[in-house]
Structure 1
Amino acid sequence: MNKGAISQFIEKYYLHFNAAALVDAAKDYEKQLEGGSKMLVSLAGAMSTAELGKIFAEMIRQDKVQIVSCTGANLEEDVMNLVAHSHYKRVPNYRDLTPKEEWELLEGGLNRVTDTCIPEEEAFRRIQEHIFKIWKEADDKGERYLPHEFLYKLLLSGVLEEYYEIDLKDSWMYAAAEKNLPMVVPGWEDSTLGNIFASYVIKGELKASTMKSGIEYMTFLADWYTENSKNGIGFFQIGGGIAGDFPICVVPMLYQDLERTDTPFWSYFCQISDSTTSYGSYSGAVPNEKITWGKLDINTPKHIIESDATIVAPLIFAYLLDM
């Protein structure tokens, strides 16, 4: 297939160092899909608030990603951007803010993520009313779901439509919900909605067991990996942390703990990270370290792009979408 202008620009000018690593990673990602492999994409950091959904949603629609692992923040912040985008505030001079100015943002109901403030009332509280009803309905029926399944129900129910402030095609969560895309959300309890859910449990309005746990995410992932790894499953990691560490561990768990010795290693690995390799950091670990943990094979294509994911990820996705 003919590549578009962005892809041609990348191939012509991105020839060395991190630029070349970007091209190599994109081409190997493409080879994986062409060979029938599936791809897991993990989202750490604040990629949803960075509006990665503008291009990631199309990746989902075009079947360039088959499963997502993300933090609870990325799960909810894409939905928050969908319903409260006009109330977000840019703070270009964020590096110069004083503690007093930060406090003034708090008093104004603005939670800052680098240069972008998420509006408390319009984002969190607008969702809270509706998601609580869905949580409560399941709780009353004795039903249990995973965190992302509740948000899929919320998006597909249509109750948020009156609040939409961006084009639905730019919401990766809506694209995922439409496809019922498999997902794992490790450490969901760390998110704002996780905190809100916990508050209802403390007040006795919901049972903690209504929300399925991280262990249940891992057992789901174990089954999914086993059923889908015939032609390989690649791992494309944006950032570091639990969004990447949790799902990549399913392979050594299957191989070592369940003693399923025919479990294939991840067939591709790429990480976009600005973490430096030092001091025991998982986010900064070079891919070869994962060989010693039984996650990657000697011959697994391995890429690390030391750069800003908000710059790199859209370029790689544009290449894969033939833009």
Structure 2
Amino acid sequence: MKAKRQKQRPEDLNAKRATRKGPISKYLARHYRHFNSAALLDAAKGYEDHLKVGGKMFVTLAGAMSTAELGISLAEMIRRGKVHGIVCTGANLEEDVFNLVAHDYYERVPGYRDLTADDEQKLLDRHMNRVTDTCIPEMEAMRRIEKAVLAEWTKADAAGERYFPHEFMYKLLRSGVLEKSYQIDPKNSWLLAAAEKNLPIIVPGWEDATLGNMFAAAVIRGDVKNVHTVRTGIEYMTYLAEYYTKTAKTLKNGEGSIGFFQIGGGIAGDFPICVVPMLHQDLERSEVPLWGYFCQISDSTTSYGSYSGAVPNEKITWGKLASSTPKFIVESDATIVAPLIFSWVLGE
């Protein structure tokens, strides 16, 4: 009589999978066994599996991930071909460049929870704009980039040309005009890495970002004559729809699909994920596949009407994900979780 085959334990399977990886991955395989830590590791393995069969991955950035310097890990993911598109808020687009040229002028405020209203006013008086425990210097970061990108806006405006927000940033970085001002290692800028790969970037709601406000001011002053010199909103959705349709066709004959790795919630996540039901329901492109992988890192709790806190299965009812789509949610701080998932995918 044959002996009953013993089922392998999850920790043993994870250890085996991490054998050829570096120390960070081995640490995750050994210690991350339950609750949010297990969800983190499952999401990382799912990301890896998605790429192994030829899938593509979109990463969405909400919150202040650029000011949190996520670029240190995200840039390497982009360079190594583990990310194929970015969707981010206008703040994340610009703040990666702010950090690139003004890092040494930033200030940390570890005791930010104890700040009084008067303390906050003193920061404002010094032109230090606070994001949780980090202050962005207005003059060295925001105004310096405003001056540089305004030159790109007015040049395009005079020529009757129109570009997306990310295309203007690509032009600025590729021009080399900022290189002498870099205050971090350029390899830690995710936007520089994206520019080198000419990665598609979607920036919904760009108008509410600092540079969006500055563009509005330039239009009001008359520096820019055509308010449509910067393409936004609906044009980004049509751009994404055509990209998704075209890319999905190249993957159709294989096992690959397009995945969705969401950091935070809000418009950075909701805008792009809606492209699939739009393609199906409004354009009747029924052959276009659903998103083939989904992971969200969020500290938002599930609550009434909350998108950021909604569980992944809710997206099935909206035609965004299939019941069979691998789905993961890690309820934790993305500044802790995302670099660890990226390290696993990178084999570190």
SS at the partner of 2:103? helix
Structure 2 equivalent of residue 13 of structure 1: 31
Q: Which residue of 1 aligns with 2:82?
A: 64
Instruction: Give the one of 181, 190, 197 matched to 2:199.
Output: 181
- TM-score by structure 1 length? 0.99
Shift of residue 234 of structure 1? 0.3
Residue identity opposite 1:198 in structure 2: A
Q: Supply the AA of the counterpart residue of 1:212.
A: R
Return the index of the structure with the highest Cα Rg: 2
Partners of 2:289 and 2:199 in 1: CA distance: 22
Aligned match of 2:230: 211
- Partner residue of 1:124 out of 136, 142, 159: 142
Q: Which of 214, 239, 263 is equivalent to 1:238?
A: 263
Q: Distance in 2 between matches of 1:63 and 1:202?
A: 41
Deviation at residue 205 of structure 1 after TM alignment: 1.6
Query: By how many angstroms is 1:235 displaced?
Result: 0.2
Q: How far apart, in 2, do the equivalents of 1:303 and 1:12 lie?
A: 20
2: CA distance, partners of 1:236 / 1:145: 26
Q: 2 CA distance for matches of 1:88 and 1:60?
A: 25
**Residue type of the alignment partner of 2:238:** T
Alpha-carbon distance in structure 2 between the residues aligned to 1:26 and 1:90: 30
Show structure 1 runs of 4+ deviating over 3 A: none
Distance 1:52 1:44 in 2: 12
Q: CA deviation at 1:204?
A: 1.7
* 2:240 matches 1:221: yes
Query: 1:169, CA displacement in angstroms?
Result: 0.2
Q: Distance in 2 between matches of 1:266 and 1:185?
A: 19
Matches of residues 87-126 of structure 1 in structure 2 within 5 Å? 87-126=105-144
Quote the RMSD (CA, aligned, Å): 0.7
- Which of 237, 240, 265 in structure 1 is aligned with 2:290? 265
Residue correspondences, number: 323
In the TM superposition, residue 195 of structure 1 has moved relative to its aligned partner by 0.2
Aligned to 1:306: 331
User: 1:150, CA displacement in angstroms?
Assistant: 0.1
Residue by residue over 1:9-62, the C-alpha shift from the partner in whole angstroms, topping out at 9 and shown as x without a partner, is 001110000000000000010001000010000000000000000110000000
User: Please, which runs of 5 or more residues in structure 1 have no aligned partner?
Assistant: none
Q: Identify the match of residue 279 of structure 2 among 242, 251, 254.
A: 254
Within the candidate set 3, 9, 23, 2:41 is matched to: 23
| Equivalent AA in structure 2 for residue 297 of structure 1 | A
Secondary structure class of the residue paired with 2:322: coil
Counterpart position of 1:135: 153
Amino acid at match of 1:156: R
TM-score relative to the length of structure 2: 0.92
- Helix, strand or coil for the counterpart of 1:296? coil
SS of 2:38's partner is helix
Match for residue 280 of structure 1?
305
Alignment identity in percent? 67
Tell me, what secondary structure is at the counterpart of 1:226? helix
Deviations 1:215-245, CA, capped at 9 Å, x for gaps: 1111111011011122210000000000000
Aligned equivalents of 1:76, 1:213: Cα separation in 2: 15
Instruction: Report the alpha carbon displacement of residue 129 of structure 1 after superposing the two structures with TM.
Output: 1.1
Distance 1:279 1:75 in 2: 30
2:206 equivalent to 1:157:
no
One-letter amino acid of the counterpart of residue 137, structure 1: K
Deviations 1:72-91 (A, max 9, x none): 00000000000000000000
Distance of 1:122 and 1:2 partners within structure 2:
44
Q: For residue 202 of structure 2, what is the amino acid of its counterpart?
A: V
- Cα drift, residue 306 of structure 1: 0.3
The Cα offsets for residues 72-111 of structure 1, whole Å up to 9 and x where unpaired, read as 0000000000000000000000000000000000001100
Superposition deviation, residue 188 in structure 1: 0.4
Structure 2 counterpart of 1:74: 92
Query: For each residue in 1:268-288, what CA deviation from the matched residue of structure 2 results, as whole angstroms up to 9, or x when unmatched?
Result: 000000000012110000000
SS at 1:292 equivalent: helix
Deviation at 1:128, TM superposition (A): 1.1
- The match for 2:15 is none
Equivalent residue runs for 1:188-203 within 5 Å? 188-203=206-221
Gaps of 5+ in 2: 1-18
- C-alpha separation in 1, matches of 2:297 and 2:20: 26
Give 1:138 deviation, angstroms: 0.3
